[in-house]
Amino acid sequence: MLYFTNSTVKLLEKRAMVIKMLVVGPFAANCYIVGSSTTKQGMIIDPGAEAETILRTVQQTGLSISLIVITHAHMDHVGALHAVQEKTHAQFAIHEAEKGLLLTAPMRMLTSLGLTPVKSPPRPDRLLKDGDRIDIGDLHFEVLHTPGHSSGGICLSGHGVVFSGDTLFNLGVGRTDFPGCSHERLMKSIHEKLMVLPDETIVYPGHGPSTTIGDERRGNPFLQNYPL
């Protein structure tokens, strides 16, 4: 559950932005339902599991979902993608560098953990690249390519918030001990793409509670020995 200060609540209301966070699946991944309270257009970020819960929450918001964005192709972020897209008929977008992992990484992860496979993720309708813009009604987000945890990992930045996937967490950073990961690239991504954002930018990560860029700049132990 997200805990907002009064100033944060007022800020979100001023932007007329709806943000609902759901913690889903055995890996406690954050799925976000984001939309405009003015136009009622919305998107889903990282439907990792529990499709019925996600769809029920979408219905409660009254949003019309036109896009599903995946920050990276690990199983805990794409597990419910097939089912959610099937019901919403939304387009599905992922970074172009992540396309090759989409059909192999989730299944490989499940097999290694001895878990039951799910339906393979669908092929993407839109391949994203750094600097692309995602428009959801009157909301606009910039795609930030942040490789390191995954080669095609992305964050979405706009309206004073950033959805950071598994790049940056509250007092943590993404793991880099998986095949294809790179700690050096991850730190470079955080330094060049996230730490240049204003301190008051709210960070909504792929796991755990929200934070701000300023709090991470000052207190994240993984960033203290890196020149920010």
Please give the pLDDT value at position 149: 96
pLDDT at 106: 46
The pLDDT value recorded for residue 130 is 98
Residue 70: its pLDDT value, please? 97
* Domain spans of the chain, in order of start: 6-219
Average pLDDT of span 136-159: 97
Token code pair at residue 146: 């942040």
What is the pTM for the complete model shown? 0.88
pLDDT tens-digit map of 185-222? 999 999 999 999 999 999 999 999 999 999 999 999 99
Q: Model confidence over 36-77: pLDDT tens digits? A: 999 999 999 999 999 999 999 999 999 999 999 999 999 899
Q: Encode pLDDT of 90-139 as tens digits.
A: 999 999 999 877 665 544 554 444 444 456 678 899 999 999 999 999 99
CATH number among 3.50.50.60, 3.60.15.10, 2.170.120.12, 3.30.420.40, domain 6-219: 3.60.15.10
Beta strands of the chain (E only): which ranges? Answer: 17-24, 29-36, 41-45, 64-69, 91-95, 126-128, 133-136, 139-145, 154-158, 161-165, 168-169, 172-173, 202-205, 211-212
Lowest model confidence (mean pLDDT) among 3-7, 17-21, 36-40, 58-62: 3-7
